[in-house]
A and B are shown apart, each in its own frame.
Chain A
Amino acid sequence: MTTYIVRRMLQTFVVIILLSYVCFYLMTLMPGDPVELMIQSNPKITSADIERLRTLYGLDQPAYKRYANWVSSIVQGDLGYSRTYRVPVSELIGPKLVNTFVLSMSSLLLAILIAVPLGVLCALRAGSKLDYTVNFFAFAGISMPSFWLAIVLIIIFSVTLGWLPAGGTSTIGFEPTGILDGGLDRLKYLILPTLSLAYLSIGSFLRFVRASMMDAMRNDYIRTAKAKGLPRLAVVWKHGFRNALIPLITIIALSFSGVFSGAIITETVFAYQGVGKLVFDSITGNDFNVAMVSFVISVSMVLLMNLIADILYGVADPRISYK
């Protein structure tokens, strides 16, 4: 098991290096570097200045050298400066990452809490009215554009009913007197984006749980469990769901890998201070350091979650042993 994990970690590490280099290289191919932006904003700039600035930023060096420089500073904990916002990347990204993490986790957990029991129920009553109804809403969730749902939620709950704020992350100018107080304030802002994000993933989770559970319930050992005289609940959860869980691990783990990437559209509609919009802007605005850091974070999360999924497989399924 340890050997397996070590081997996978090594592989993961190599993949991160390779992918980050590829991405780094692609970024250098993008038209327009920061110096060009300076030229545009400052018509008085001389060609000697341009030369000097290029050398200063290391832009005259080949891509692999610049990559090596970038890696060595990253390793030393220096994530660099954002060119657009002129603040250290860590200061810029840090709080937004936390916001995004809170939002993604809460919507993911909500989605799982709803999708799993509902999916199991649909699997057990496949073909029933309940199954068709739930499936209808699941497909609606899968196919609905996220901004539309978000807007509908805002119209209902903030414009018409006025129960919840239409956007933002916390009340501006609000001074929380304690953790509970501050938490409640944040929670108000979290509800609508969470709901809209969760609804989108409930559909696909539910379809997956349903299929996986139907598969599990078709197995011979389900018949054995019934032949033993076990009551239905024990057959369903102890024998059926326990096995249906195994394929679910991948899809859930992979969903978790997105918790730091953010959801651009939802975050934009709700004006939520998350990392999604930031990453988007950094790429279009050629904010090199911000883009690279967020890229490395999302790649690492995907690989890490894959690794965790594989390890969980070993835990959930005794037939799998890693040697």
Chain B
Amino acid sequence: MSQNILEVKNLSKFFPIKKGLFLRHVADVRAVDYVSFHVRQGETLGLVGESGCGKSTLGRTLIRLYEPTSGSIRFKGEDFLKVRGESLRKMRKDMQMIFQDPYASLDPRMTVGQILTQPFEIHNIMTPSERLERVKQLLETVGLKASHVNRYPHEFSGGQRQRISIARAIALNPSLVIADEPVSALDVSIQAQILNLMKDLQEKLKLTYVFISHDLSVIEHLCDRIAVMYLGKIVEIATRDELFSNPKHPYTQALISAIPRVGEGKKKMKKSLSGEVPSPINPPSGCHFHPRCAHKKDICSQKAPALESVTGNSEHRSACWLTTQGGL
């Protein structure tokens, strides 16, 4: 069994809400609510969920773009939240992020060459001429031309910009890349190009991905293991095949049944799930999902279920009273 590159324990990120004459702290938006999981070396972990489930916040908290409210993150065995100074810089180099919007995440006033040289400047690696060589090489790695180095982001299409973002992310040879909805803003045919590129790079550079997406078809295509999030919590985590063939949590089941199937013909849509995601400021008591759950029991509204192994499979864990108490 391969090693864990990332171990996350009880990680949470609350955003305070302040009110009143003196802006007292009255409540929190519980964007990430005591989440634990691990990522193995070389795998792709998918984080999936609907908007507001906290998957993006979790992704950003993982590389400390947001400081966590509590919990621990161990990266390659070291406590990422405790390191300071030089070793923090080293660790940061080793984990990179790709964002959703390739239009907003590249500085429009910088050439592609400048954008891609920046990581080397920040970490003071290589001479300027070596950097330029490396940048050209990077551009070719992500399927662009070395001659593109003096162009500006607006001269590229959305898909090409996302390639530039990817080049920037892999510039410093990281081991972990967190990709936050990297293909959501792109057209279908371009999505395929980027997904293929990400797969190729993973093989070539031995990358580990945390892949955040709302699109289950894309997640299914790319990920080895998948964590399903709902209102700041992981409700189910399992290997891909296990999750899709044997989903335990009613939310996962609803999510899967709501995916439109390509090419299976027109059908009478059935209601997969009624209601909408409640506010993370004042989430429902007990299991956050119980108001929308068709199988809820009394205990569901009283006590929150823990993320526990499903019978007979230590790799498959689900946070649901129905599965922990012997199945549906």
Contact = CB atoms under 8 A, between A and B. Distances in A.
Nearest to A4: B21
A3 B20 CA distance: 6
Interface string B1-43: 0000000000000000001110000000000000000000000
A233 interface: no
Nearest to A7: B21
Interface in A125-176: none
B21 A323 contact: no
Contacts of B20: 3
A262 to B, nearest CB: 36
Contacts of A323: 19
Nearest to B23: A7
5 contacts: A3-B20, A3-B21, A6-B21, A7-B21, A323-B19
Interface string A3-23: 100110000000000000000
Contacts of A6: 21
Contacts of B19: 323
Interface in B126-163: none
Closest 4 CB pairs of A and B: A3-B21, A7-B21, A323-B19, A3-B20
Contacts of B21: 3, 6-7
A13 to B, nearest CB: 14
Nearest to B26: A323
Contacts, number: 5
Interface residues of A, number: 4
Interface of A: 3, 6-7, 323
Nearest to A2: B21
A7 B22 CA distance: 8
B259 to A, nearest CB: 27
A6 B22 CA distance: 11
A102 to B, nearest CB: 38
Contacts of A3: 20-21
A181 to B, nearest CB: 53
A323 B19 CA distance: 6
A6 B20 CA distance: 10
A323 B21 CA distance: 9
Nearest to B20: A3
A258 to B, nearest CB: 31
B25 to A, nearest CB: 14
A25 to B, nearest CB: 30
Nearest to B22: A7
A57 B254 CA distance: 83
A6 to B, nearest CB: 6
Interface in B108-132: none
Nearest to A6: B21
A323 B20 CA distance: 7
B188 to A, nearest CB: 23
B19 to A, nearest CB: 6
A190 B312 CA distance: 92
Contacts of A7: 21
A3 B18 CA distance: 13
B17 to A, nearest CB: 10
A152 to B, nearest CB: 44
B23 to A, nearest CB: 8
Nearest to B18: A323
A323 B22 CA distance: 11
B110 to A, nearest CB: 28
B254 to A, nearest CB: 30
Nearest to B17: A323
A4 to B, nearest CB: 9
B208 to A, nearest CB: 40
A7 B19 CA distance: 11
A158 B327 CA distance: 96
A7 B21 CA distance: 6
A35 to B, nearest CB: 47
Nearest to A323: B19
A265 B21 CA distance: 43
A7 B20 CA distance: 9
A3 B21 CA distance: 6
Nearest to A10: B21
A7 B18 CA distance: 14
B68 to A, nearest CB: 27
A320 B279 CA distance: 19
Interface in B210-268: none
Nearest to B19: A323
Nearest to A3: B21
